[in-house]
Structure 1
Amino acid sequence: MFVIAGLGNPGLKYAGTRHNVGFGALDELAEAYRISVDTGKHRALIGKGVIEGQKVILVKPQTYMNLSGESIREVMEYYKLSVEELLVIYDDINLDVGQLRIREKGSAGGHNGMKNIIACLGSDHFPRIRVGVGAKPPRMDLADYVLGHFPSEELPSVREGIKHAAEAAAMIVKGEMAPAMNQFNAKKK
């Protein structure tokens, strides 16, 4: 079994914001594989299904971004899964809008949601897909930036990034980490 967690903040107020691209990628996966992510459990919305022959649990923590690890830890403990059976999809301000960076493990890179997941799980040895949301403008507050919406000219790029994140996630649960990295980590031209 594989847990795929998309990070974001709950509520309509945050829908479509930079911080919610993880939720967007999870929605894309859920639609493509006909998985309903509507069961409230473990302080998250979850859905069970099959992606590329692999049983999965799709998780949208409802704890708000900075406490995502609390919800994810509950899921992992309940299903008695190891950290290697977790895949996290989240936003990254250090990547151009829509660009992906896939890694097998690593630090939080300054992302508070990931810091909390690593702290709650006691490990950073789990795969992750970062979706670029672009760098914040100078003198703008980081929270205001990541909780803001994409301007219309960036929407095609972010939609493509979310779509590619979902495709990469399907490859990873199928055991194709290296091919996913080769295909999606390339810099956009």
Structure 2
Amino acid sequence: MKFLIVGLGNIGPEYAMTRHNAGFMALDRMAAQHGFDFTMTRLAYTAKWQHKGKQLFFVKPTTFMNLSGRAVSYYMKQENIPVSNIIIVTDDKDLPFGKLRLKPKGSPGGHNGLRNIDEVLNTQEYARLRVGIGSDFSRGKQIDFVLGEFPEDELIQLPDYLDRVGNIILAFCTMGIQFAMNNYNQ
């Protein structure tokens, strides 16, 4: 059984440690812990890893956040992975830092990366794991906030936070979405 795990973010060193790159960071953390590497391929950095008899295909789109659907659609077709076996990992400003929420489907909730995936796939019926980044910004400063780096106190907590994201991804792929939601949603 194959799974497509997509971490959303923006490429380039200027975005590497920004809140908007929480999806990239989570997949990079998993790669470091489990010993697999990403390679630049068409539309994305990709990696493959076997876990408990499952084939996990990881994607970090290089299309920039607002065009993420192109990479998701391409690798979904290329790897012949059904939409029910896709999980998108993305930042969420509507959740406080440290909170995680897995859902089997839903609206983009103002997230341009999810909106583009919805449009390209023509469905909202895919799992999304929202990584809370908080909303400590004043009116009109949302872009500066999401494209800003995590403050030092959050950076200290980030490794444990990203480990929890990895645990949810593995639970989704091995035990199913209901198990993962029941055991990890806060």
TM range (shorter): over 0.9
* Farther-moved stretch of structure 1 (174-183 vs 128-137): 174-183
Q: Equivalent residue for 1:4?
A: 5
Cα distance in 2, alignment partners of residues 161 and 140 from structure 1: 28
Q: C-alpha offsets along residues 77-133 of structure 1, whole Å, 9 cap, x if unaligned?
A: 112222112111010001110210011111111110000011111111111111000
Where has structure 1 moved over 6 Å in runs of 4 or more?
A: none
Q: Which runs of 5+ in 2 are unaligned?
A: none
Determine the C-alpha separation between the residues in 1 that align with 2:53 and 2:17.
30
Aligned partners of 1:52 and 1:170 also within 8 Å: no
| Residue identity matched to 1:105 | K
Q: Does the aligned pair in 2 maintain the 1:98–1:160 contact within 8 Å?
A: no
Distance 2:154 2:33 in 1: 23
Seq. identity, % = 37
Cα distance in 2, alignment partners of residues 175 and 16 from structure 1:
31
Q: Which amino acid aligns with 1:115?
A: R
The residue type equivalent to 1:158 in the other structure is: L
Question: Partner of 2:175: helix, strand, or coil?
Answer: coil
Aligned residue in 1 for 2:93:
93
Please say which of residues 102-111 and 77-86 is displaced more in the overlay: 77-86
Distance, in Å, in 2 between the alignment partners of 1:84 and 1:32 is 26
Distance 2:96 2:154 in 1: 10
Match of 1:149 in 2: 149
Tell me how far 1:140 sits from its aligned partner.
Answer: 4.3
Q: Is the 8 A contact 1:97 1:158 kept in 2?
A: no
Structure 2 residue 49 is the aligned partner of structure 1 residue 49:
yes
Name 2:129's counterpart in structure 1. 129
**Whole-angstrom CA distance in 2 between matches of 1:42 and 1:114:** 20
Amino acid at match of 1:77: K
- Root mean square deviation, CA, Å: 1.3
Q: Distance in 2 between matches of 1:84 and 1:47?
A: 20
User: What amino acid is aligned across from residue 65 of structure 1 in structure 2?
Assistant: M
Q: Per-residue deviation at 1:141? A: 2.0
Task: Rate the CA distance shift 1:93–1:108 in 2: closer, same or farther, 3 A.
Answer: same
Counterpart CA distance in 2 for 1:14 and 1:52 is: 33
Tell me which moved more, 28-37 or 86-95.
Answer: 28-37
2-structure distance, mates of 1:149, 1:142:
13
Number of equivalent positions: 185
Q: Secondary structure at the match of 1:174?
A: helix
Counterpart of 1:25 in structure 2 is 26
Structure 2 CA distance for aligned equivalents of residues 42 and 123 of structure 1: 23
AA paired with 2:178?
A: A
Output the CA distance in 2 between the equivalents of 1:99 and 1:160. 12
How do residues 28-39 of structure 1 correspond to structure 2 at under 5 angstroms? 28-38=29-39
Normalising by structure 1, we get a TM-score of 0.92
